[in-house]
A and B are shown apart, each in its own frame.
Chain A
Amino acid sequence: MKILVGYKRVVDYNVRIQVKPDGSGVVTDGVKLSANPFDDIALEEALRLREKGIAEEVIVVGIGPADLTAHLRNGLAMGANRAIHVVTADAVQPLTAARVFLKLIEKEQPGLVILGKQAIDDDANQTGQMLAALWDRPQATFAGKVEVADGKAKVTREVDAGLEAIEVDLPAVITTDLRLNEPRFIKLPDIMKAKSKPIDSIEFGSLGVEAHDHLKTTQYAAPAKRSKGVMVKDAAELVAALKQKGLL
């Protein structure tokens, strides 16, 4: 079976995000960009399924501008067989991204689609669920463990109450949580090898997906800051201060 993996490029998680003074966006010029951490986990899981012989081919998918190819090469260096680059200069919202994936699914007929549970830029946490709905297939979100056998996947999900296990028929959409695996590091020879792996470029406009943005962002603001408090000298002073505030 084939596995499609969403591989989004985002501002690196170590970058301290600054809102532009005019409120028109956040500063992204010159900041370090990296793979969305959850997508690295998604790719790692797909590669492990291939290494176990459960999957034959792992395809990384990116939606973005022309220079996204360098990012997709990282996915190839990590071990994906090939990449699909849906080329658009515009940012796409989750519903549009889900519609793009649905088009690719119709063509590629994957047994599994693995996506990060959220991208750490917009923190939307939507695309996988939306894709599963449009595809009319199961979703197993927030996966902490994935076991695939006999055309089914047993997925242990990290939920607020604890760990929930569900069984889904394939094909299905899985979204990854943090503890699913630890992504491998890219080795130098793999970077060389990745140079000869194929990247299919598809113009967004040719897919017949309507970019229907129901949401308009009208303003960006810095969050309200908590002011720095006081240092207390010992436990007794701390307890007294909290008691005075009625907290203990």
Chain B
Amino acid sequence: MSKILVIAEHLDGKLNSSTARAVSAASAVKGEAIDVLVLSDAPEAVAAEAAKIEGVSRVLTVARPENAHPLAAVLAPQIAKAATGYSHVFAPSTTFGKDVAPRVAALLGVAQVSDVMSVEAAHTFTRPIYAGNAIITVEADAAHTVVATIRTASWPAAPSGANNAPVEALTVDAALPTHTRFVELKQGSSDRPDLQSASKVVSGGRGVGSKENFDIIYKFADRIGAAVGASRAAVDAGYCPNEMQVGQTGKIIAPELYMAIGISGAIQHLTGIKDAGTIVAINKDGEAPIFEIADFGLMGDLFKIIPELEAALGA
């Protein structure tokens, strides 16, 4: 029977919702146990959150001062040790999981399945290649541990609240390297919803024209309670910071409502949004590819349309 170890992603003492999505994927394996591993200098609060996620059997914590920051070179040897006895090791396919999981896989001497979209059987998965232009079915060797990253946009977050899984402290005997040191994390300070988990996202593209003009996007997003995203073109042009990029090499998201404003819709961008519930496109170019996949398209000047939308929303 399968036993799955899910690596928790967390920051500033809070569990990232990507973890609950990875738990959903773990549930789809239909194994006998799903344990969540929390590596931190102070894992208590994160572990308590993880224990509430439905489907979680146990939460295992490794408390070490070296785990204060998520350095793959430091975490991977501990995860590889903790993985003993598990058939699967899952991590969310976020920059955290993408960084650490392959290092774990290599330490275990196994391949990794990246960006799992569906679990067809305990060792059979689907995943996207070529920016999602093809979906492959891959079979992992059942004789080895499967290391996989979970494409968060393909999985709902497992519900939280009803469960009360036991939390157990784990001691792992792993020598940790000192060759990699955390310096700093510069986070975009924002009171807006988190882009990766928001139910509504408003994104701006090259058509917005400048960093100053992007204010109209922020303002509209705030009006409807949405997170703000951007196309690669907008990030490259310096209109907004890198963490806002949506697409093949940025964030892959699946909000209920996605509004693409001034975004032409390069295939690499569409990859990041195709699991959205409803896609709205606003663009002055009626031939823009974004209209090919939008549920609702509105052709015209965004600087005229956004105030009209705000007016139509009423007081």
A residues lining the B interface (CB < 8 Å): 11, 13, 16-17, 19, 26, 93-95, 98, 117-118, 120-134, 136-142, 144, 154, 157-169, 172, 177-179, 212-223, 226, 228-236, 238-242, 245, 247-248
Do A215 and B280 touch across chains, with their CB atoms under 8 A apart?
A: no
The 4 closest A-B pairs by CB, nearest first: A235-B308, A129-B102, A229-B295, A133-B106
Grouping DSSP codes into helix (H, G, I), strand (E, B) and loop, the A interface class, with mixed when no group exceeds half, is mixed
Residue of B nearest to A120 (CB): B131
- Once the chains are docked, how many angstroms separate the CA of A93 from the CA of B279? 35
Q: Is B2 an interface residue (CB 8 A)?
A: no
Q: Which residue of the partner chain B has the closest CB to A228?
A: B292
> On chain B, which size bracket covers the interface?
35 or more
A247 to B185, CA, bound (A): 34
Confirm or deny: B103 has a beta carbon within 8 angstroms of a beta carbon on chain A: yes
Q: Which residue of the partner chain, among A93, A94, A248, contacts B224 with CB atoms under 8 Å?
A: A248
Contacts of A158 in B (CB 8 A): 95, 242-243
Q: Given A138-B177, A221-B134, A232-B296, do A160 and B94 touch, yes or no (CB 8 Å)?
A: yes
Distance in angstroms from A141 CB to nearest chain B CB is 5
Interface of B is mostly: mixed
Known contacts A141-B72, A215-B113, A216-B139: does B129 contact A122 (CB below 8 Å)?
Answer: yes
Complex Cα distance, B129 from A26, in Å, reads 10
Cross-interface CB contact of A139 among B73, B107, B299, cutoff 8 Å: B73
Q: Quick check: B179 and A137 within 8 Å, CB to CB?
A: yes
Task: Specify which chain A residues have a CB less than 8 angstroms from the CB of B296 in the assembled complex.
Answer: 229-232, 238, 241-242
Separation of A212 and B110 alpha carbons in the complex (Å): 9
Residue of B nearest to A123 (CB): B129
With the chains together, A134 CA to B80 CA distance in Å?
A: 13
Chain B residues with Cβ below 8 Å from A133 are 76, 102-104, 106-107
Given contacts A120-B248, A169-B180, A229-B296, 11 further A-B contacts (CB under 8 A): A19-B133, A94-B102, A123-B128, A138-B180, A160-B94, A164-B182, A213-B111, A218-B138, A222-B133, A230-B296, A242-B257
Q: Please give, as numbers and ranges, the residues of chain A lying within 8 Å of B200 by CB-CB distance.
A: 247
A121–B242 touching, CB < 8 Å: no
| Bound Cα distance A236, B71 (Å) | 49
Given known A-B contacts A141-B72, A216-B139, A232 and B105 have beta carbons under 8 A apart: no
Whether B181 contacts A166 by the Cβ 8 Å rule is yes
With A134-B106, A223-B132, A238-B280 as contacts: A139 and B99 at CB distance below 8 Å:
yes
The digit string for B86-116, where 1 denotes a CB below 8 A from any CB of A, is 0000000011101111111111011111110
**A132 B103 Cβ-Cβ under 8 A:** yes
Measured CB to CB, the nearest residue on chain A to B312 is A239
Interchain CB contact under 8 A, A235 and B309: yes
